[in-house]
Structure 1
Amino acid sequence: MTDSSPAPVSRAEYCAVACAEAWRGAGEVLASPMGLIPSVGARLAKRTFSPDLLLTDGEAMLVGLDGRPEGWLPYRRHLAMVTGGRRHVMMGASQIDAYGNQNISCVGDWERPSRQLLGVRGAPVNTLNNPVSYWVPRHSKRVFVERVDMVCGVGYDRAGDAPFHRLVRVVSDLGVFDFATPDHRMRLVSVHPGVTVDEVRAATGFALVTGPEVPSTREPTPEELRLVREVLDPRGLRDREVAPR
């Protein structure tokens, strides 16, 4: 007799569900996830609680639930959505600080950096003109820093009155964070099962805002687990991005 009970929920699966939650209630906006776990999350959101999301193949087409083209999105229309608050991008961050300033360009002094990274790319336009979230697969003090070495994505302390600036959430392999505090400092919203608040604090290079109790990241539903495991990532590539713990 074989055991037919489902495998325990992995850390990567908690992260995918947490990423999906970033698009809950987003309406008909263009979801632009960067990275495997955010992509699984965006597609999961569209298949479950955010059916109006628009997904793109990254070139010129809108794609449906089965990944097939269902519409045309030329680059000029894409840019119009970017600059008008009609896109929600989930980017990575080589460094991020307490106010959500993000660095993906260099480590060290930009004139003589110790590490050259991707470059600024579209981060300033993204953060000033449409909602942005961040995905960090390896939470550490090297990423969650007191002060970023170079500002690429703009945080709350620098955004001024930019009309569409909004940092929705940060998801890491340890927990979920937002900026829903009076001064828009990063707040710990939930810890993934198996993680403690003290562990998150020890891995963060600045003082986190926390409530008196921090809940666990929500459990995926049986249908969400089925979609992740059988439809969205049947090869289990998510466990390469977030190692099982």
Structure 2
Amino acid sequence: MTGVTRAPALAPTRAEYCVIACAEAWRGDGEVLASPMGLIPSVGARLARLTFSPDLLLTDGEAMLVRPDGTVEGWLPYRQHLAFVTGGRRHVMMGASQIDRFGNQNISCIGDWERPKRQLLGVRGAPVNTLNNPTSYWVPKHSRRVFVAKVDMVCGVGYDRVAAHPEAARYHRIPRVVSDLGVFDFETPDHSMRLASLHPGVTVEEVREATAFDLTVPDPVPVTREPTADELRLIREVLDPGNARAREVGS
């Protein structure tokens, strides 16, 4: 009897590389509360929990701890949530309407604060997040409008501002910024942004053209790691079978 030959799996898409890059933000975190904001970060956090970070805690955003499939596994009273937030035991991945070379983030307004050209979300929890627990960022469309020389308003606090007041930021850390072009970190002597990896098919020139400040660029630039066969199966069949990720990041 002839064995069944399976068709080769489709190559990973750009969106799936972004999922992997977001998931990697929580590698090695241990038992911390993962707070992903946005579709691809959420798929990434759940993937991390199912694979290399089994101790991660996931929340429904209200009062429950949940498994990656959404079933409840515990109660998270608000006082305990605040203890996670203010004690360095949460790692949030936020969005950024603007971000600069030191990791200052803006989600409040575009233009002068007194007469803004555009009103956005508002400061929300960004100052508390960045000063009290690790904060990463997800940017689905990398451009000079987002990666700016100077943010119009500081919501999330960057490394240059923390340097002047280290006593106020005991748990401040920005592990990574993930965009549709690559992964960025602040592993430089002055904690300015560095290109940590490029997604396949992206060039350094494309990243530089889409960034309004000078990046530190290693030579050579690593490539964002490819998802394993099991990770692809989980993404495609378990975590996002409707392929909503493709609507956030195209091919």
Q: How far apart are 1:66 and its partner, in Å? A: 2.5
**2:218 corresponds to:** 211
Matched, 1:81 2:88: no
Matched, 1:185 2:192: yes
Q: What SS class does the counterpart of residue 140 from structure 1 fall into?
A: coil
Matched, 1:142 2:149: no
Matched, 1:69 2:72: yes
Q: What SS class does the counterpart of residue 157 from structure 1 fall into?
A: helix
Q: What SS class does the counterpart of residue 76 from structure 1 fall into?
A: helix
TM-score by structure 1 length?
A: 0.98
Point out the more displaced range, 65-74 or 181-190.
65-74
Equivalences for 1:1-245 in 2 at 5 Å?
4-159=7-162, 160-161=165-166, 162-244=169-251
CA–CA separation in structure 2 for the residues paired with 1:186 and 1:75: 34
CA–CA separation in structure 2 for the residues paired with 1:63 and 1:79: 18
Q: How far apart are 1:65 and its partner, in Å? A: 3.2
**What amino acid is the match of 2:84?**
M
CA–CA separation in structure 2 for the residues paired with 1:188 and 1:100: 13
TM-score by structure 2 length?
A: 0.95
Point out the more displaced range, 74-83 or 224-233.
74-83
Aligned residues, how many? 244
Q: Write out per-residue CA displacement over residues 131-179 of structure 1, whole angstroms, 9 at most, x where no aligned residue.
A: 0000000000000000000000000001131110000000000000000
CA–CA separation in structure 2 for the residues paired with 1:215 and 1:166: 22
Q: How far apart are 1:210 and its partner, in Å? A: 0.9
Q: Please, what is the CA RMSD of the aligned residues?
A: 1.2
Point out the more displaced range, 64-73 or 123-132.
64-73
Please, which runs of 5 or more residues in structure 2 have no aligned partner? none
**What amino acid is the match of 2:149?**
E
- Give the fraction of aligned pairs with identical amino acids, expressed as a percent: 76
Point out the more displaced range, 60-69 or 197-206.
60-69
Q: How far apart are 1:2 and its partner, in Å? A: 9.7
Please, which runs of 5 or more residues in structure 1 have no aligned partner? none
Q: Write out per-residue CA displacement over residues 5-33 of structure 1, whole angstroms, 9 at most, x where no aligned residue.
A: 21121000000000000000000000000
CA–CA separation in structure 2 for the residues paired with 1:95 and 1:152: 10
Runs of 4+ in 1 over 6 A off after TM superposition: none
Q: How far apart are 1:63 and its partner, in Å? A: 0.4
Point out the more displaced range, 61-70 or 88-97.
61-70
CA–CA separation in structure 1 for the residues paired with 2:99 and 2:155: 10
